[in-house]
A and B are shown apart, each in its own frame.
Chain A
Amino acid sequence: MDISQLFYDLFFDYTLRTVALGSAILGIVSGALGSFAVLRKQSLLGDAISHAALPGIVIAFLLTRSREPAVLMLGALIAGWLATLFMLNVIRTTRIKDDSALGLVLSVFFGMGLMLLTFTQKLPDATQAGLDKFLFGQAATLLQSDVVTMAVIGTLAIVLLMTFWKEFKLITFDPEYAASLGYPVRFLDVLLTTLLVIAIVIGLQTVGVVLMSAMIVAPAAAARQWTDKLKNMIILGGLFGALAGVSGTLISGSAEKLPTGPVIVLCMSVIVLFSMLFATNRGLVWNWFRNLQNRRQLRAQAVLGDLNTLAMQHPNQERGHSSAVLRAMSTNPEGVSLALSQLKEQGYAQELSKDAWALTQAGLDEAGKNEEKEA
């Protein structure tokens, strides 16, 4: 399938359009809410919530015998929420620390979910078929009505996030200070966590319980690389999530037997990798480049100083000095010729004849300025 066909299908093929739209919504909501979770040092909470949603899905099915996504999502929501409350209470009332409590809740709930899943699959009728798809997600089963449900719930979550923006920002940065100002931190905490649970539940059908936490953490991690503003981080997180969702859908749609959920997560990983390497200010490549620039600048300054010293030893003489002399003066002899050509480019040094270097008037002024600074 060629690219233009793929884009044509994106808009006119029912399945592809539905899945792409669903993945975009999932990406936006999880990216935005995930950013808050990451800033609140709750990256792993997403993992626990998504795993804990599994028993909720199966129990919802067992109780209603319905496979309506809205029903199953409600089950996931309740289970994810209960798991969170359970965990927070374990942390508050026992001496068990956050990470242990997370591991505990994750494994207990997920184990229970797997057990129930196996049990349901042994039921005589075939209505349970496909429940196990929630493990790794199956985007192709998304219907337009599912996407509408996702969009409605997702919009609600985003609107709430914007409504309580100031309060959420405050409790994320400094919860104790928020409490001293009289804000009900516990309530806001539960509200924000509930929104996170919603974001996770929206993505379960597409990405599955096992990989969903990647969609919470990764967009935030990538977005943080590019910006120092909370608002931009949330918007970028949403955009990255949506980008990964749509591109993952397109890639898996263009090849047979490529599962959508994992491909979306892989696309997200590529965005993270790219951001870690190339983001301005924080990216590794950017830092490396900046260090290199600094080093070259310092080296040139050192040679500039040396040339100035030589010029002072031979006052009133228009004479050049060989690079061998400069190498002998330098602590970094290999860098001298590079530094000389850099100084020449900047107009600070000139080559009077072959390998006879001297400062220009601009170079002499610059050296004078540097000496003043040092003094």
Chain B
Amino acid sequence: MAVNAIDVTDLTIAYKDKPVLWDVDMEVPSGTLMAIVGPNGAGKTTMIKSILGLIKPAAGQVLVYGKPYAEQRHLVGYVPQRGSVDWDFPTSVLDVVMMGRYGALGWLKRPGASERVAALDALDKVGMKSFAERQISQLSGGQQQRVFLARALVQDAQLYFMDEPFQGVDATTERAIVTLLQELRSAGKTVVVVHHDLQTVPEYFDWVTMLNVRRIACGPVSEVFTDNNLRKAYGGKVAFLSAENGKH
């Protein structure tokens, strides 16, 4: 059997004595489109940040394609929440997208013509090529999200982490992003998305991890995205879903 894209074992993270993630296991097979869902404060963002080595776990192990993240960095692309940066920063769309090549460039080397081409190509894929020279403060929320996606695309990764890419974007952008995600999966990539809209989980994703500090469930959407698990994750506050998901 092929090696999993992600293997998380016994991951525990605490913030000032309060556990954010508690003894979590997660296996993501290569080539899946996976949503991480759970209520606010369930540790979804913490989960992907700890896989990316941005937060140090108190205990547990994370493997990316069978090895520690530090060795597999070049295989991983990251789309942070777009609210995490100051969009009034004096720079252009193209410049931001080229930052995706900085990891491959390494120290001191400056981005050049090939980085430019790659960035324009990625902007084209997210439908933002004509915005390349635009100052980033002039972008709408959906456009900001597309720029961040393009930046991850130029990383040319095997495994992508996206933190709430659908947050505050309009229907057109949401469609565009979903199409892009599905293209990535068809190309054999693995995509992990922190997601909030439970209604769209069965439509967009084929794999799901349900979190609420502890792992509630992790597996194919058709098997684990059940009323019972949702109730466990959200504490019985998802009655509105049961009609739709009764079939699971």
Measuring CB to CB, which residues of chain A are less than 8 angstroms from any residue of chain B? 39, 41, 163-167, 169-170, 172-174, 176-183, 224, 227-230, 232-233
Given A177-B99, A177-B151, A180-B73, 20 additional A-B pairs, CB 8 A:
A39-B86, A39-B90, A163-B108, A165-B110, A166-B102, A166-B105, A166-B108, A167-B102, A167-B107, A172-B89, A173-B86, A174-B80, A174-B84, A176-B49, A177-B80, A178-B102, A180-B54, A180-B76, A182-B73, A229-B90
Q: Which residues of B contact A179 (CB under 8 A)?
A: 52-54
Q: Are A176 and B80 in contact (CB under 8 A)?
A: yes
A182 to B155, CA, bound (A): 13
19 A-B residue pairings within 8 Å (CB atoms): A39-B86, A165-B110, A166-B102, A166-B105, A166-B110, A167-B102, A173-B89, A176-B49, A179-B53, A179-B54, A180-B52, A180-B53, A180-B76, A181-B103, A183-B103, A229-B90, A229-B91, A230-B91, A233-B90
Judged by a CB distance under 8 angstroms, whether B243 is at the interface is no
Indicate with 1 or 0, residue by residue over B78-99, a CB within 8 angstroms of chain A CB atoms: 1010001110011110001001
A39 to B90, CA, bound (A): 9
Q: Which residues of B contact A169 (CB under 8 A)?
A: 91
Q: Are A180 and B89 in contact (CB under 8 A)?
A: no
Judged by a CB distance under 8 angstroms, whether B137 is at the interface is yes
Q: Are A39 and B73 in contact (CB under 8 A)?
A: no
Residue on A nearest B106 in the bound complex, by CB: A182
Q: Are B78 and A173 in contact (CB under 8 A)?
A: no
In the assembled complex, how far is the CB of residue A291 from the closest CB belonging to chain B, in whole angstroms?
A: 18
Q: Which of B89, B109, B110, B135 contacts A39 (CB 8 A)?
A: B89
In the assembled complex, how far is the CB of residue B146 from the closest CB belonging to chain A, in whole angstroms?
A: 16
Q: Are B90 and A224 in contact (CB under 8 A)?
A: yes
Q: Which residues of A contact B111 (CB under 8 A)?
A: 166
Q: Are B107 and A228 in contact (CB under 8 A)?
A: no
In the assembled complex, how far is the CB of residue A186 from the closest CB belonging to chain B, in whole angstroms?
A: 12
Q: Are B91 and A182 in contact (CB under 8 A)?
A: no
A183 to B103, CA, bound (A): 8
A224 to B151, CA, bound (A): 25
Q: Which residues of A contact B108 (CB under 8 A)?
A: 163-164, 166-167
Q: Which residues of A contact B78 (CB under 8 A)?
A: 177, 180
A163 to B53, CA, bound (A): 27
Q: Are A170 and B80 in contact (CB under 8 A)?
A: no
Residue on B nearest A178 in the bound complex, by CB: B102
Q: Which residues of A contact B76 (CB under 8 A)?
A: 180
Judged by a CB distance under 8 angstroms, whether B239 is at the interface is no
A177-B78, A180-B78, A233-B90 are known contacts. Are A170 and B52 too (CB-CB below 8 A)? no
Residue from A41, A166, A179 having most chain B Cβ neighbours under 10 A: A166
Q: Which residues of A contact B52 (CB under 8 A)?
A: 179-180
A163-B108, A174-B80 are known contacts. Are A229 and B103 too (CB-CB below 8 A)? no
Judged by a CB distance under 8 angstroms, whether B113 is at the interface is no
Judged by a CB distance under 8 angstroms, whether B70 is at the interface is yes
Residue on A nearest B51 in the bound complex, by CB: A180
A163 to B110, CA, bound (A): 10
A373 to B234, CA, bound (A): 50
A173-B99, A174-B85, A174-B99 are known contacts. Are A230 and B90 too (CB-CB below 8 A)? yes
